[in-house]
Structure 1
């Protein structure tokens, strides 16, 4: 993240990892996957989904 730019604050990525078990095309509470690693294309930071299937990255460029 380039902190010399004025728009460097509040950049983050959030999401859920899930397996569409019932092929509905929509997320259902039972379909979340915990323990999955989420890694951006660039950089060294990563996140691992938690018990609620979610992840977040806060150090984005």
Structure 2
């Protein structure tokens, strides 16, 4: 049993490879964290990835 976002499992659910076992479960808000050593040494590609994730997962 796993708690995964819809966009990760939608195709497998539709194809019958996965089954939803707790359809009424409300997991509430899930916090996602990005950890990195220091903004001073943050590579531009890592910053772009973080920005992309914020844009994609917001709302």
Q: Which has the higher strand share?
A: 1
* Fold match by TM threshold 0.5: no
Structure ranking higher on relative contact order (CA contacts 8 Å, 6+ apart): 1
TM-score by length of 2: 0.25
TM-score by length of 1: 0.24
